[in-house]
Amino acid sequence: MNELRRDYFLDRWVIIAVDRAKRPSDFVHAREPASGSQDCSFCPGQESKTPPSKASYFDGDHGPDEPGKPPQTGWTVRVIPNMYPAVRQEEVHIRRDMGMTASGVHEVVVESPGHDHHPQFMADDEIRRLFRVYRDRFAEIAGIPYVRYISVFRNYGKEAGASLAHPHSQIIALPIVPRDIDEQRGFDYGLVIEDEADSPRLILDSKHTVAIAPFASCFTYEAWVIPKRKCRNLTEMTDEERDDFALVTRDVLARLSKLLSDPPYNYAFVQSIDDDIHIHLRICPKLGVEAGFELNTGVHINSVTPENAAKSLREV
The catalytic residue positions are: 168
Question: How many residues are recorded in the chain?
Answer: 316
Q: Which residues contact 124 (CB under 8 A, 6 or more apart)?
A: 247, 250
Calpha distance 26→223 (Å, rounded): 19
How far, in Å, are 15, 41, 54, 151, 282 from residue 60 at the CA level? 46, 23, 15, 24, 27
